[in-house]
Structure 1
Amino acid sequence: MSEGDIPSELPKGWARVRLGDILNRIEAGKSYKCEPRPASREEWGVIKVSAMTWGDFDEGENKAVPAGFPFNPEYEIRPGDILLSRANTAAYVGASVLVRKCRPRLLLSDKSLRLIPAEGIDREWLAYLLSSPNIRDQISERATGTKDSMRNISQGALADIECLLPPVEEQRRIVAALEEQLSRLDAASDTLRVSGQRIDRYLQSVLHRMTSAYEPVRLKDVLVSGLTNGRSVPTRAGGFPVLRLTALSDTYVDLAQRKEGDWGEEEAAPFLVQQGDFLIARGNGSLSLVGRGALVADVPTPVAYPDTMIRARLDASKILPGYLRVIWSSLAVRRQIESRARTTAGIHKVNQKILESIEFPLPDLPTQRALCAQWSSTEQQARHLAHTVSVSKRRSAILRRSLLAEAFAGRLVPQDPADEPADALLARVRAEREAAGATKSRRRSPRRAPAQRKRTSDTAPAPDAPPPPRADTPALTAATQPTLDLEIPS
């Protein structure tokens, strides 16, 4: 049995259920015509897709709702809400969070869902369950869309996900055990995060001291020819190779990250990469990755670049390709790119005009060579430290995943025979739903044929109809099924 699988033998007192069985309802957010600027605390804002990662909620990641634009305040996010990312990149679709604190006047977007647990389901337990390996794996399997773009999980698919339900008292024991163990991991993770930030700050400080004394130039001033976009090429087995966007790293282009495209060598010829080319990402869902550049160090076999990249060919009499690789990673360049990038459908983009205007300091060629040699030594030391931090993060993530897997398979805390079994809890939940459904049925007026309605209206005034139930918060019944700080590796 793999780590994320549900055990075939149920722990004592547990029950096999679907998420829809233990939720009162799933509430979908609403789409708003928003302005790109963030909303202040005094105005209504809509949360962005990037606001939610596994276990994290960044209330600063939001957009403003234009004044006078109609909206329903029932979509407002409040502390205690359990939110789930309905539409996101492959790494973050289904990302869930229990909102601990949140500013007022912040609205749920149409790319997010709010999960309302049934009576008797511990809210903290449910939040941990949603981040467990079993749930994450099932969400990944059921999400639709392409792996390289946005993925979606529907309300119906989410409600149909299988899980195990422990007794109420054991839910609370699981939460207590997880909080004790995960708090230690969180403290260690914070230390690793700070260490990583210090390494980045050290590199930026060194780079600034090395280059700040020189006069700035624009990227367009050091090109031998204009910037050029790549070409969009469908996949076809046996076709001419084209790079994937994943080929761009923080340093050099990984030419092994390629696919076979639906074109031939003659069509691909204008888009072939050469040694010394500098490739830049046109767009990305993450603002920190848009405009990232990498250098082509060597081209052992021909390959073209796609429309997701922009190629810069440098004037060797003015700038060393290695120097551009170094200075392009500077904080000053990143600030320019991120401040000028445009956002479309949640994707941050840059174009040739924006990139041509990016400025950076440029010394003469001999000084560039000396700076590149000095930087190489500094970068090597920083890489060694960063590798140590990365290995520790992976170990922490694996331990976190294992703890969650054990907890929701019934192996983290002992079962207590005195606990009321989960079947009794499920029976109460079903009874409450049936009672609520019967109450709604009695309140509805019997349906009459059109002729009957006309005769009644001719003879007597119709009684006031009761208000309709909220359409945006359907109960998860069989009849109406709606259509923690670390990135945990799957």
Structure 2
Amino acid sequence: MISNQVTIAESHLMDLDALVKSRFVEIFGDFACYETKPLIKCVDCIEAGKSPKCLAFSRKMAEPGVLKLSAISSGVYCENENKALPRSVSLTIDKVVHANDILLSRKNTPELVGRSVLVKHTDGNIMFPDIIFRMHPLPPINAMYLSYLLAGPLLHSIQSLAHGSAKSMSNIPKSELAKLSIPIPALNLQNEFANFVSQVDKSRFGGMLRLLNSLSGIMHASFFSVADTD
């Protein structure tokens, strides 16, 4: 019964992802009709993080830490994927993650390099490592639009920039990423898409709450069923 609930939830999430992709195409259509600019002209900068020596375990609560690559590899920001900083090492303030940061993996396996996320929330006190790039869009670019563009339609183009001597770890040069061509639709269209994604995220969150409540009810009923047989 629990596996059925999980399967239903996974199917719901896949449907929402497909809905966002469909809406993206519906709003923007053919990108060939839009003005384009190199990525470096669309963001304040493309900066790498810092990777001090960390402990072998994750931080506790909001103690200082550094993100692992797995924090962004899935396409969803997972801040609990981190390593704790030793007490002897201080946070580098200008490398601390903030809400609305766009984080992009500059070094990873060929399948995962170039993956990116938009940070919607952070508990604070966590840095991004030197194998991740950070950027913020400049007007008239909407952060949600740019992050979805990088993570979806342009992902293959970004990954094609990666190279390196070892097949296991590919690297994207900052100079090449900076030249990536970014289509720039009217800001009202970008905002329309961003608002749609926000509504889908609310539905996604609501679906997860319903799943948790359902699983809790099933486990509760199962517990008392077992207790009654004792």
| Residue in 2 that maps onto 1:45 | 65
Which structure 2 residues correspond to residues 45-444 of structure 1 after superposition, within 5 A?
45-133=65-153, 135-145=154-164, 148-178=167-197
Is the CA contact (8 Å cut-off) linking 1:41 and 1:104 kept in structure 2? no
User: Partners in 1 of 2:130 and 2:137 — Cα distance?
Assistant: 20
User: Partners in 1 of 2:123 and 2:198 — Cα distance?
Assistant: 25
| Residue in 2 that maps onto 1:36 | 56
Equivalent position amino acid for 2:147 in 1: A
Q: How many residues align?
A: 185
Equivalent position amino acid for 1:46 in 2: V
User: Partners in 2 of 1:116 and 1:22 — Cα distance?
Assistant: 8
- Given the alignment, which residue of 42, 56, 63 partners 1:22? 42
| Residue in 2 that maps onto 1:215 | none
Q: Provide closer, same or farther for how the CA distance between residues 166 and 8 of structure 1 changes in structure 2, counting only shifts above 3 A.
A: closer
Is the CA contact (8 Å cut-off) linking 2:62 and 2:123 kept in structure 1? no
User: Partners in 2 of 1:42 and 1:100 — Cα distance?
Assistant: 16
Is the CA contact (8 Å cut-off) linking 1:78 and 1:102 kept in structure 2? yes
Is the CA contact (8 Å cut-off) linking 2:54 and 2:84 kept in structure 1? yes
RMSD (Å) for aligned C-alpha atoms: 3.1
Equivalent position amino acid for 2:96 in 1: E
Q: Displacement, 1:145? A: 2.6
1:201-243 deviation digits (Å, cap 9, x = unpaired): xxxxxxxxxxxxxxxxxxxxxxxxxxxxxxxxxxxxxxxxxxx
Is the CA contact (8 Å cut-off) linking 1:90 and 1:147 kept in structure 2? no
Q: TM-score, normalised by structure 1?
A: 0.34
Equivalent position amino acid for 2:107 in 1: A
Q: Displacement, 1:119? A: 2.8
Q: Provide closer, same or farther for how the CA distance between residues 62 and 164 of structure 1 changes in structure 2, counting only shifts above 3 A.
A: same
User: Partners in 1 of 2:125 and 2:193 — Cα distance?
Assistant: 33
User: Partners in 2 of 1:9 and 1:39 — Cα distance?
Assistant: 46
Percent identical among aligned pairs is 31
User: Partners in 1 of 2:181 and 2:67 — Cα distance?
Assistant: 29
Any stretches of 5+ residues in structure 1 without a counterpart?
199-490
Is the CA contact (8 Å cut-off) linking 2:141 and 2:184 kept in structure 1? no
Q: Displacement, 1:22? A: 0.8
Q: Provide closer, same or farther for how the CA distance between residues 125 and 7 of structure 1 changes in structure 2, counting only shifts above 3 A.
A: closer
Q: Provide closer, same or farther for how the CA distance between residues 19 and 42 of structure 1 changes in structure 2, counting only shifts above 3 A.
A: closer
Q: Displacement, 1:43? A: 2.7
Q: Displacement, 1:110? A: 0.8
Any stretches of 5+ residues in structure 2 without a counterpart?
1-24, 216-230
Is the CA contact (8 Å cut-off) linking 1:41 and 1:105 kept in structure 2? no
User: Partners in 1 of 2:151 and 2:133 — Cα distance?
Assistant: 15
Q: Relative CO higher for 1 or 2, CA cutoff 8 Å, sep ≥ 6?
A: 2
Equivalent position amino acid for 1:37 in 2: F
Q: Displacement, 1:174? A: 2.7
Q: Provide closer, same or farther for how the CA distance between residues 177 and 105 of structure 1 changes in structure 2, counting only shifts above 3 A.
A: closer
- Matched residue of 2:44: which SS? strand
Equivalent position amino acid for 1:166 in 2: P
Equivalent position amino acid for 1:63 in 2: K
- Matched residue of 2:189: which SS? helix
User: Partners in 1 of 2:78 and 2:170 — Cα distance?
Assistant: 21
Q: Provide closer, same or farther for how the CA distance between residues 40 and 153 of structure 1 changes in structure 2, counting only shifts above 3 A.
A: same
User: Partners in 1 of 2:194 and 2:31 — Cα distance?
Assistant: 23
1:390-416 deviation digits (Å, cap 9, x = unpaired): xxxxxxxxxxxxxxxxxxxxxxxxxxx
Q: Displacement, 1:41? A: 2.8
1:78-134 deviation digits (Å, cap 9, x = unpaired): 22211111112222211111112222211111111111111332111111111122x
Q: Provide closer, same or farther for how the CA distance between residues 56 and 8 of structure 1 changes in structure 2, counting only shifts above 3 A.
A: closer
User: Partners in 2 of 1:124 and 1:29 — Cα distance?
Assistant: 21
- Matched residue of 1:84: which SS? strand
